[in-house]
Structures are given as structure tokens and as C-alpha cells.
A and B are shown apart, each in its own frame.
Chain A
Amino acid sequence: MSVDYDAGHPIPAPTVHPDNQGFWDGVMRQELVIQRCGSCGAWAHPPRPMCPECRSPKREWSRAKGKGTVVSFVTYRQSVHPGFKVPYSVVLVELEEGVRLVSNLQGVKPEEIRIGMPVEAVFERINEEVVLPKFRKVD
């Protein structure tokens, strides 16, 4: 478990949108799928409608290896949303592919999180509608 959710209060669900649909469809299939340019191969996250490197509108979705390291993290100690019980941490993970993702860590207490910690992607079902990509520590 990565975050202690309050089942009585739904968390903000991801807003699925034609430009980001591939990512969230991948998550539902338990795959970490990142946007990639169909012309030059550059990875991009968050997803957008055009390649920032070569401006091609050919956007594709490619499976990422799922491995990365923690680049930064925060710990909420005061409640800001009723769906999330404090304390909980949010991490910024850099994937091997070079892009970064905001997520949570499973099985790691806030005081144990370290920048540079190697992690890998997992998928957590939050409720009937929502599955989210999370990370766990790699030994």
C-alpha cells in the first residue's frame, strides 16, 4: 500500500483526454506506456499532441521498462484532501527512458524515502474506476 486512502472520499481521478488516453489505457492494462514520437523516437511525458523535438504530430505509445530512481519527494503532514490520510508522500521518479513521473511509493515509510532510491513500476487498483501506476523499492 502506498497511500492510506479514505474510502469515504473519492480521490481526484485522472482526466482522460485524447492526447493522454494511451497512457491511461496502458495503466488499465497494467502497462507503463509512455508517449514516443513516431518520427524521431523521442520520449515525452506528460503526453502532448506534438513532438517537442521534431514537431511531428505522429504520437505513439511505447512500453517503458518501468525502472527508475527517485528524484525528489514531498510528505504531506497536514490534510489537504479528505481522500488522502496524512502523513503520505508523493515522489518524482525519473525513468530509465529519461522522462519523469509523479507517483507514490509502495511499502516505504516517508522517513525512509531517499533521493536516488532505485524503484520499479507497479499498478495499484484504488477503487472500481481507478488504477494508478505506483512504484516500489528495488533491492
Chain B
Amino acid sequence: MDGFKGKAAVVGFALSPFSRDSRKTELRLSCEVIRDALDDAGLLVTDVDGLVKHADDASDEHAVSSSMGMENLTFFGEVKWGAAPCAMLLRAAMGVASGAARCVVVYRAVNGASRLRMTPSMKTSGQMSTSDLLQWTFHSPFGLTTEAGRVAMTVRRYMHDSGARSEQLGWVPVVCREHGACNPGGAYHGKPIRLEDYLASDLVVDPLRRLDCSEASDGAAAFVVTTPEVARDLRQKPVCILGAAQSMVRDTEMLAGYYRRDPARLPEVRDVGAKLFRTAGVSAGEIRVAQLDDAYGPLVPIQLEELGFCRQGEGASFCEGGSRIRRNGAIALNTSGGSLGEGHLCGMNLVAEAVRQIRGTSTNQVNTAELSLVVTGAGGPAAGLLLAAL
């Protein structure tokens, strides 16, 4: 328990005035108090690379980040309950002590007395969460009411910018289903699809097809992480977390990167890849297997580009034909099937397969896999892991 000693220090803080009616949104209160705390520390907004918030707070990290012009966040998350004030500082200390971040801001803002009331999704003070507010209010009245619709808007622009065609994008679900078809633990065991099936599948939100979208499942996943010393004595081949990274960049949004300069890119994924490769001292060319976020298939080619597995604009043609993303290809993709071909567990099964590839227990084992990459969160705040044998 002495991992923090001498490794983390509080250098600034601020409190807003207390009132019964602040006349300010919680997001505004958050931004102002963070600015004041940074002033107290003598640091700039651009120095901040981590954010820790309370789980019940309406002001999500990305809303704060984009409101304040933060450029690059490598560590962020939320903490719950009454213990949170100290626990949030513990979380920040972990970020700094581990080297995941250099400057973490902890914040909380609550209109507990005035309780500005909004619908539809309420947080503790009755205020709609900022993710919902920024999106729902400006998207839903126009009929952009679903996640698939928001992804489709990015995909349309990507197809326009890169020239990617449906006939090329379809290879992602086709290969994921091929991989999932030989996975007895997956939901599509024995059930591959062909490109013809993909092209015949109906348009859910044009240009997204039904087979572009992973189907919801019921399910659960859990992982146990410990120290290398303990790991060596346990029964499974230990899988070392060589690198772990999170990313938010300027104007990251939840599946709606529409408002920033290039709406069809995934800069958070690029950033995660860069951090992981730098930590491990490797380049994309040394990675043979990757589990990429395939909740929506067309975001995979963009991830391949951002991670450097192919050139920008060429992700779709890289996937075309399937050979480059199969087990013996340049980069074996979603080898247990992924969300599209194994089952949708919000990406947890991607991490499980990344572990299997190092253990050597995948149903689609890449024999030369010394490094195993996994990326989750394409389209919004992203994160990734680089795994290796201990």
C-alpha cells in the first residue's frame, strides 16, 4: 500500500461559493472551479492530461474537456459514493504514480439545492448528463435518435473522403464472422456469412447495413490482474500488460466527432496506438494480431489507418478480399470473431481474445503472436492495451 509515497502531490485547489441557487449549470460550475484550481497551481489547461469525476455528476469528462479546450487526456474515469472525495484523490494519485498521467484534475459540481430539473436522463441533482445534453438536444429533434445513426454520419463522410465502397467495407463483418464461426464459445459458431449476404442485408441507417452493426447480447466478463510476483506462481500463463492507454483529444465526443475539423477520423485511436507503441518501443509493423472495436464494422478500416497498419484512406481496400486481415494476413483481426462474430459484450470479449492470443489458446491462434493489441472505444474516448508474455 505504499506505492504512492513520494509519488503524488496536490498542488492546487479551488472551491466555488456556496449558495442555494447558483444560477449556473453544473458544467459551468465544473469548468470555472477547474480553471480556478489550475490558477491556484500556476498551471495551464493544456498541462492537464487526466480527469477524475464522480459517477453521479452530470458533467462528463469529455464535456469539460471540450469546453475548456483540453488537448490530450491520457487518464480519466469516475468514482462513486460518499467515499469519493478521498477515493478520487486516490485515483488521481494512481494515475500520476503509475506514469499514466502527469497532471490529473479531480472535480465535482452539484446543484444540490436548486436542483435544475431536466429530462430525460437524470443524474443526482436532477440535471441531465452532459453527454445526453450535448447530443440529445441538438440531434434528437432532427431524428438522429440512435447510436447507429450517429455512427452512420461519420461513416458516410469517411466513404466520401476515402472513396470506400460498401463492397469493401463488407469484408470486415465477413472475416469477423469467419473467425467467429470456428469459435465454439461464440454466438455465431458454425455460422459464417459471405459478402453477398452482407450486401443483401438491409440498410439500418443508410449507409450502415444490418450486418455492419453488432447484435446485442446478454453476457458478462471478468478479468483478474495482479503483480508479476504473484502471477508467476499461479496456474495460467501470465499475460503481461506491457502498455495501457486512454485517450481524449481536442473535441472528443461520444460517437459524434462531427464538430471538429475532420469528422471522419478517429484521432483518439491514433493517440492510443502511438502511446502504446512508444511505451513498448515497437512499431505497428511488429504487431501480428489485433482486436479492434467492431461494434460497428465500418469503423474498423479507420482504426487500421489510425494505428498505422495501412495508409490513411486505404483502410477499406486493405480489408477488401479478407486475406490481409485473416489469421495468416498482415494483421489478424478479431480472431475470435469480435463483437460482430463472437458476440457483443461492449468490447470485453476483445480483451479476452487478446489474452488468449498470448496464452496460445485462441481458436484462431496466430503462431507468431508475441504482442497482442486491443483497442476499445472507437468513435469517442478510446483506450487500448498491448499484451505480451510475462
Interface SS majority for chain A: loop
- Take A15-B118, A17-B118 as given contacts and tell me if A80 and B146 are in contact as well, using a CB distance cutoff of 8 Å: yes
In angstroms, how far is the closest chain A Cβ from the Cβ of B302? Answer: 14
Are A73 and B156 in contact (CB-based, < 8 A)?
Answer: yes
1/0 contact string of B64-85 vs chain A (CB within 8 Å):
0011110000000000000000
A residues in contact with B217, CB < 8 Å = none
Closest to B204 in A: A78
B residues in contact with A88, CB < 8 Å = 143
Closest to A130 in B: B141
A107 within 8 Å of B by Cβ?
Answer: no
Are B141 and A92 in contact (CB-based, < 8 A)?
Answer: no
Interface-facing stretch out of B28-36, B233-241, B352-360, B367-375: B28-36
Are A72 and B160 in contact (CB-based, < 8 A)?
Answer: yes
Are A84 and B24 in contact (CB-based, < 8 A)?
Answer: no
B227 within 8 Å of A by Cβ?
Answer: no
How many chain B residues sit at the interface, stated as a range, is 35 or more
Are B149 and A49 in contact (CB-based, < 8 A)?
Answer: no
Interface size on A, residues (CB 8 A): 47
A57 within 8 Å of B by Cβ?
Answer: yes
B residues in contact with A55, CB < 8 Å = 31, 35, 45, 68-69
A52 to B253, CA, bound (A): 14
Closest to B31 in A: A50
A110 within 8 Å of B by Cβ?
Answer: yes
Are A48 and B45 in contact (CB-based, < 8 A)?
Answer: no
A76 to B150, CA, bound (A): 11
- Which residues of chain B from 44 to 72 have a CB within 8 Å of any chain A CB? 45, 63, 66-69
In angstroms, how far is the closest chain B Cβ from the Cβ of A29? Answer: 17
A residues in contact with B203, CB < 8 Å = 75, 77-78
Interface-facing stretch out of B95-103, B129-137, B315-323: B129-137
A residues in contact with B205, CB < 8 Å = 74-78, 80
A75 to B202, CA, bound (A): 12
Are A46 and B136 in contact (CB-based, < 8 A)?
Answer: no
- Which residues of chain B from 287 to 335 have a CB within 8 Å of any chain A CB? none
Are B136 and A50 in contact (CB-based, < 8 A)?
Answer: no
Closest to B146 in A: A80
Q: What total of A-B pairs shows CB separation below 8 Å? A: 157
A88 to B206, CA, bound (A): 10
B192 within 8 Å of A by Cβ?
Answer: no
A residues in contact with B13, CB < 8 Å = none
Closest to A103 in B: B142
1/0 contact string of A1-37 vs chain B (CB within 8 Å):
0010000000111111111100000000000000000
- Which residues of chain B from 161 to 208 have a CB within 8 Å of any chain A CB? 202-208
Closest to B132 in A: A15
In angstroms, how far is the closest chain A Cβ from the Cβ of B184? Answer: 33
- Take A48-B67, A49-B28, A52-B67 as given contacts and tell me if A81 and B141 are in contact as well, using a CB distance cutoff of 8 Å: no
A residues in contact with B149, CB < 8 Å = 74, 76, 80, 90
A residues in contact with B142, CB < 8 Å = 3, 90, 102-104, 132
In angstroms, how far is the closest chain A Cβ from the Cβ of B384? Answer: 26
Which of A14, A74, A80, A100 meets B263, CB within 8 Å? A100
A132 to B264, CA, bound (A): 26
B19 within 8 Å of A by Cβ?
Answer: no
B25 within 8 Å of A by Cβ?
Answer: yes
In angstroms, how far is the closest chain B Cβ from the Cβ of A85? Answer: 10
A45 within 8 Å of B by Cβ?
Answer: yes
A108 within 8 Å of B by Cβ?
Answer: no
A residues in contact with B258, CB < 8 Å = 71-72, 92, 100, 102
1/0 contact string of B263-301 vs chain A (CB within 8 Å):
110000000000000000000000000000000000000
A48 to B156, CA, bound (A): 27
B145 within 8 Å of A by Cβ?
Answer: yes
- Take A11-B143, A12-B145, A115-B160 as given contacts and tell me if A75 and B206 are in contact as well, using a CB distance cutoff of 8 Å: yes
B residues in contact with A3, CB < 8 Å = 142-143
B157 within 8 Å of A by Cβ?
Answer: yes
Are A90 and B153 in contact (CB-based, < 8 A)?
Answer: yes
Closest to A114 in B: B160
Are A102 and B144 in contact (CB-based, < 8 A)?
Answer: yes
A117 within 8 Å of B by Cβ?
Answer: no
- Take A55-B68, A72-B156, A74-B152 as given contacts and tell me if A15 and B207 are in contact as well, using a CB distance cutoff of 8 Å: no
Footprint of B on A, CB under 8 Å? 3, 11-20, 45-46, 48-53, 55, 57, 71-78, 80-81, 84, 87-88, 90, 92, 99-104, 110, 115, 126, 130, 132
Footprint of A on B, CB under 8 Å? 23-25, 27-28, 31-32, 35, 45, 63, 66-69, 116, 118-119, 128, 133-134, 136-146, 149, 152-154, 156-157, 160, 202-208, 250-251, 258-259, 263-264
Besides A49-B25, A50-B67, A75-B206, 4 more A-B contacts (Cβ < 8 Å) are A49-B31, A72-B157, A102-B138, A102-B139
